[in-house]
Amino acid sequence: MTSKVIYLGGLRTEAEHLKSGTKVLTDAPIDNNGKGEAFSPTDLVATALGSCMMTIMGIAAQNHEIDMDGTELIVNKIMESDPRRIGKIEIVITMPANDYSKKEMKILEAAAHGCPVGRTIRGGIEDLKIIWKDEE
């Protein structure tokens, strides 16, 4: 088993990662009857995509001895209605100024596009942009 989720009332849940005991709260968003005081479940889906991309890039960087410390990623989730669902997830990755070679850029870009969460939620909702500080 991966996790256990408990409904706490008031449109709030608590999810526990069973192996580590780490807990995450979720709230319904303000635009869907909630308080918006924590990640919404759809926020977690979008954030999981960004976190997965960063993790797979980190593995590739480690395997190829590429320094990507300080890389930042911003997630923007855009909801649709009828039916209510995630319509688009915009991801912007800003790489630090490290004089990356063209080969290193290709390795890291391929890693970002190859993350398992992205492969799972395919359907045209992912919009990825990578900013290389050296190219600004």
pTM of the shown model: 0.89
At 4-36, the pLDDT tens digits run 999 999 999 999 999 999 999 999 999 999 999
- State which residues form the domain around 19: 3-32
Same domain, 118 and 54: yes
Domain of 77: which CATH number?
3.30.300.20
Same domain, 21 and 61: no
At 91-117, the pLDDT tens digits run 999 999 899 999 999 999 999 999 999
Torsions phi, psi of 100, nearest 5? -65, 140
Q: Residue holding tokens 């918006």?
A: 36
Does residue 64 lie within any of the structural domains? yes
Q: Are 91 and 52 in contact (CB under 8 A)?
A: no
Does residue 114 lie within any of the structural domains? yes
Query: Domains in the chain: how many in total?
Result: 2
Does residue 109 lie within any of the structural domains? yes
Does residue 39 lie within any of the structural domains? no
